[in-house]
Chain A
Amino acid sequence: MTYRHTTRYHLRAAFGALVLAALALPHPAPAAGAGHPETVCIECHSSLPDRLGAPVKLWRSSVHAENGISCNACHGGDPNDADDAMNRSKGFLGAPKETEVPAFCGRCHPGVMKDYLASAHGLALGKGGPNCVTCHGNHQVLKASIELINEKNCTRCHSFERARAIRDAMQQTESSIVGIDARIKGFQAEGVDTERLGKGLFAVRNRFHTLFHEVNVAQVKAESAQIDAELAKLDRDLRVIEEARARRKVAGGFAVAGMLLLALLCHLMKKSFD
């Protein structure tokens, strides 16, 4: 190989490497970045031991933390001023008593509170029955899901038999909701207008969640069937989008192949002139 050819070879190799490097560049995404500023509650309690510090660790992995709901949203007080953080004149409520818990949580979740109070669990409030934090946790608040109906949780108070029957009746619906939610989120992250679908799922999910405090198995089964029918409509709408996108990919495949063929043709024509 002559020196001239070597240089040309190096230039071509560098071109190829650079094209690959450019195409392989990752898109700007995950990294630690700007979040919500810490409140004085977190700053102070995170350095405290045992009972006073534990809630901070628990809260960090809660659905509340995930959604930016900090201590003051439930307990009140001034989150920006250490002196007034626990000042009752600034709205500080402290920790509620056992019977006050539903009303405490119900300030933000009034519908759920209503369902709970009407259920067998709610009717047993103050008589040894469970309140919100018994199943959902207090600081490490867990997102309402069917996973909360489990043997470990339920057998703290009673047998799991009926709870299992309810959970089995809801399992399919829950799986459909989770699957449809993931598909909607996936499309939203690709620029598809999912507002109508998202609102539809939100309504269905809320309706489904009202069953979470219901202990009548027959009613759970009947309601779940109706919810499944609504989910099927959402599924059909999503399939239409998926099919359209699959068609786009086929068209894209032809377009890319066509351009590569054209490139080859031009290259061969150039060679014939060379």
Chain B
Amino acid sequence: MLIKQMYDWIDLRLGAREIVKKQLTGYLLPARINEWYSLGSVLMVIFGLQVVTGMLLMVYYVPDPEKAFKSITFIMNEVPYGWLIRLCHAVGSNMMVAVLFLHMFSVLMMGSYKSPRELNWLTGFILFCLVQGISLTGYLAPWSQLSFWATTVATNSAAAIPVVGPYLVEFMRGGKLVGPPTLGRFFAIHVVVLPAVIAALVALHLFLLKRTGISRPPEGTKECRNPTPTGSYSYESHPGGVPFFPNYALQDLTSICIYIAAFLAVVFFAPNFLFTPDAFVPANAFLTPAHIKPEWYFLANYQTLKIFPSELLGLSVQVAAMTLLALLPFIDRSPERNPLKRPLFLTLAVGGILLWLGLTIWGHYS
């Protein structure tokens, strides 16, 4: 009764019932919507957790080379539940990249990037790059041997760019070598610039999603073709579809709970799955560890640079592959979205994924 009174009070002032009807109960999704569509919600939860845990870490973390490692050790050992917050942040950053891969994979396979959703794909692709960027900049924060030397290796890759490469490396590092200025700028980019840009792009991504409407899964025949006529804007509605609330919201919640279960399993039972012992040794610019590699999602890039006779060639191949992926909706103009009816696409996509996995494994063991 009290809740109803409160709801009435809010409704009188904000028109809450209308918003709920339009955005939740009356917001209809495709009838055969599947689980893959919930990955976007999972990613939003992960991003939220990263922001919250990052804010909590900032209470004790000191972005100074003399104090950074000690502050992380303090968080892990002295701050109540500091270990949990830090591990959630570190494991979460890796899992965010993994879930992003899955999200992109589903969009690729279901052809959801196709017209008129080119901008959705493009904003998503930029978000993917930014998430890798925020992970890279955060990787340096603990100022451990692993973070110091992995950052050295990663930033050094830019040196392969002709003419501007060495200047770009120096600009990124704030000097010839990774040092205090690198930590300062990486920290600023990690906690201010990239979160703000990512949040803005997520908002744009969602805005585009709302404007174009949710794409249908590529099932059936007629339904999988894009109904939008070329040359004029139209919202893809789904009469007779599934209400977002409660139906699909419950699917979102199911996926989120499964994700959090997997995430907590790593945090509590295998936190070192993502760390090497070098991650717990303070950075030493005069002692290069024998075994140093970038994070798992950069291993394919790392290996590509190694297998080509020149780093410039390796870098060019990567730039070409990324450009192709970014511009995919503008290249693949066919309206067909069913993966089994796109043999050329399916071959290239599966081949590309296997190549990436192969290079990653090769990079790990090389």
Contact = CB atoms under 8 A, between A and B. Distances in A.
B105 A18 contact: yes
A11 B36 contact: yes
Interface in B248-287: 250-251, 253-254, 257-258, 260-262, 264-265, 267-269, 271-277, 279-280, 287
Interface stretch (B2-10, B16-24, B55-63, B357-365): B357-365
Contact of B250 (A12, A23, A259, A269): A269
Contacts of A256: 261, 264-265, 268
Contacts of B267: 252
A35 interface: yes
Contacts of B149: 34
A29 B294 CA distance: 9
Contacts of B339: 7, 10
Interface string A22-58: 1101111111111110000000000000000000000
Given A22-B102, A189-B280, A263-B258, A29 B35 contact: no
Which among B83, B268, B293, B338 has the greatest number of chain A C-beta atoms within 10 A? B268
B334 interface: no
B219 A14 contact: no
Contact of B76 (A193, A262, A266): A193
Contacts of B295: 28
Contacts of B36: 11, 15
Interface string A240-264: 0000000011011101100110110
A222 interface: no
Contacts of A19: 102, 262
User: Chain B at the A interface: mostly helix, strand, loop or mixed?
Assistant: helix
A32 B292 CA distance: 8
Interface in B29-54: 32, 34-36
Given A28-B364, A33-B293, A191 B288 contact: no
Given A33-B291, A263-B258, A191 B280 contact: yes
B102 A188 contact: no
Nearest to A21: B357
Contacts of B289: 33-34
Nearest to B110: A11
Nearest to A37: B288
A26 B109 CA distance: 25
B160 to A, nearest CB: 18
B218 A7 contact: yes
A267 interface: yes
Nearest to B90: A191
Contacts of B77: 191-193
Given A191-B76, A269-B246, A27 B262 contact: no
Interface string B294-328: 11100100000000000000000000000000000
